[in-house]
Amino acid sequence: MERSGATPVTMLGAALAVGLPLASCAVSPPTITLDDDVATLALANWTGGTNERTRVEVDGEDGPFLRTDWQDPELAHSVPLLGLWAGGKWSARVVSESGEGSVYVDFETGTVPVGMPGWTTSGTPGWEGYLLTGVIAEPAWALILDEWGRVVWYKKALGRHRVLRLRLRADGEGLRFAEIEPAPVTETSALVTVNWDGSEVSRHQVDQFNHDFVDTPEGDSICVVTDVRPGRSGADVVGDALVRVDEDGVATPIWSTWDTWEVPEDSELEGDTWAHVNALDTREGGGWWVGMRNLSALLEVFDDGSTGRMLGGPDSDWSFAVEADRPKFQHQFQFLDGGVVMMDDRDPSTGEDSRVLELTLDDAAMSATATWSWHHDPPLSIVTLGDVDRAADGSTLAVFSYAGVIDDIGPDGELRWELQTSLAAAIPYAVVVADLPGVTRVR
């Protein structure tokens, strides 16, 4: 079924162009519907054959590009053709499992909105797929980019809000993102769930929502929030907390920094946060792990609100034989088999530039050792955000957020690809996926 506000592409002209009348084909061609709101989105509609599964195959100007998943026979199908870039020329056909194909249907994707920041790349990427990220500007955008920096999906944030985290929905029908108000204590931040056409499924305002979230296998989301309470002098102090948000938007508290520490006596913290939780991840065999920027530490938190081990900071459970191996003002991190890699922002006021830091963790000896670090050339210093994504081949994607730079560092430690924003805009957290739901790139 075609959606309102979308433009179907006529099939007859495509069939006659190749000299085959539509009636001569046992496999009928798809109807391609172009979305008016997301210019890169095309929807393939077709009816399956009587006995065989069918799918749609899409060719670009350089040959085969992607194919949809196989669909059951005798059913009407409607599948988003995800991963196409703006202004591309494409041809699509329906193919049966026995290899019979329909005539091709030609179509062209539209152009992205005026004012959206562009991207430039240099080098050759060592990965193929898509980058779930965004751009922090006015307005801000939730984005999916391919490995050449081409926008393949987008959604504008409301007002002056920022999109800090973007994740695929478990059902494959769209995305979920953190839309954060740019203020120390947020009041209108929301966890937003959208379909591929950009329409909102839900917008759950999460009180004091901040920085990051992860989705659980049960379908809930664990969100970082601020927790403001009176400090020792009576002035407000910004603590941090984790809450579990269910599909109806109901938030249940899990843990707060107020449960673990007393407010420091340092009066300079009045009106500020002493921990500054900025990142969230999991580790096999553990609970949730929170990154605490101002404590230069990662802390293990369980669903019942209890805490476990701490990596870094003054009370680290892992010892550091070399003081320079300790993280300092780190942001996003990723646990590995036997270690952790993180964006270690460091302290620009002391002349330290930001670095990617990998620590090997010996859980028997409870020791932490820096086994690899990487600095941008020329040095970059970022004081907020920053992300890392380690791939299976040992390469690392490093996001220097407020420098507007993403680097792809090979397993040998050499820079092989770099992406930069074309405007003065920052990049939030980022996740790499090989394919988007329902489609597979032809490689």
CATH number, domain containing residue 78 = 2.60.40.10
What average pLDDT does this structure show over 70-82?
95
- Does residue 140 share a domain with residue 58? no
- Calpha distance 165→163 (Å, rounded): 6
- Does residue 345 share a domain with residue 231? yes
- Does residue 128 share a domain with residue 92? no
Q: Is 1 a member of any domain?
A: no
Between 10 and 374, the higher pLDDT residue:
374
- Calpha distance 245→251 (Å, rounded): 4
- Calpha distance 210→60 (Å, rounded): 40
- pLDDT reported for residue 349: 86
CATH of the domain at 422: 2.120.10.30
Residue type, 389: D
- Does residue 311 share a domain with residue 390? yes
- Does residue 170 share a domain with residue 285? yes
Q: List the domain range (segments joined by +) for residue 153.
A: 119-441
Least confident of 231-245, 359-373, 413-427: 231-245
What is residue 140's DSSP assignment? -
End-to-end CA distance of the chain: 31
Each residue's pLDDT tens digit, 267-314: 455 556 788 999 999 877 768 999 999 999 999 999 999 999 999 998
Residue 138: pLDDT band by 50, 70, 90 thresholds? confident
Instruction: Tell me the three-class secondary structure of 62-121, residue by residue.
Output: CEEEEEECCECCCCEEEEEECCCCCCCEEEEEEEECCCCECCCEEEECCCCCCCCCCEEE
Helix, strand or coil, per DSSP, at residue 322: coil
Each residue's pLDDT tens digit, 36-70: 999 999 999 999 887 899 999 999 999 999 999 99
DSSP codes, 166-189: EEE-TTSSEEEEEEE-SSSS-SS-
- Does residue 138 share a domain with residue 92? no
Domain boundary among the residues 89, 108, 127 is at 108
Please, what's the b/e burial string for 101-118 (b: 16 or more CB within 10 A of its CB; e: otherwise)? bbbbbebebbebeeebbe
Q: Is 113 a member of any domain?
A: no
Q: Is 325 a member of any domain?
A: yes
Domain boundary among the residues 43, 74, 108 is at 108
Q: Is 235 a member of any domain?
A: yes
Is 117 within 8 Å of 423 (Cβ atoms)?
Answer: yes
**196 backbone dihedrals φ, ψ, rounded to 5°:** -65, -25
Is 406 within 8 Å of 417 (Cβ atoms)?
Answer: no
3-state helix, strand, coil in the chain (%, to 5): 5, 50, 45
Other CB atoms within 10 Å distance of the CB of residue 347: 14
- Does residue 156 share a domain with residue 91? no
Total domains, the chain: 2
Q: What average pLDDT does the structure give for the chain?
A: 90
What average pLDDT does this structure show over 15-35?
65
Q: Is 114 a member of any domain?
A: no
- Does residue 384 share a domain with residue 266? yes
- Does residue 267 share a domain with residue 156? yes
Between 443 and 147, the higher pLDDT residue:
147
Determine the number of helices (DSSP H) and then strands (DSSP E) in the chain: 2, 35
- pLDDT reported for residue 282: 82
Q: Is 259 a member of any domain?
A: yes
Residue 12 is inside which H or E element, if any? helix 12-17
Domain boundary among the residues 108, 135, 158 is at 108
- pLDDT of residue 24 exceeding 90: no
Q: Is 312 a member of any domain?
A: yes
- pLDDT of residue 3 exceeding 50: no
- pLDDT reported for residue 383: 87
- Calpha distance 34→40 (Å, rounded): 8
Q: Is 352 a member of any domain?
A: yes
pTM for the predicted model, two decimal places? 0.90
- Does residue 373 share a domain with residue 232? yes
- Does residue 307 share a domain with residue 183? yes
Helix, strand or coil, per DSSP, at residue 324: helix
- pLDDT of residue 184 exceeding 90: no
- Does residue 251 share a domain with residue 366? yes
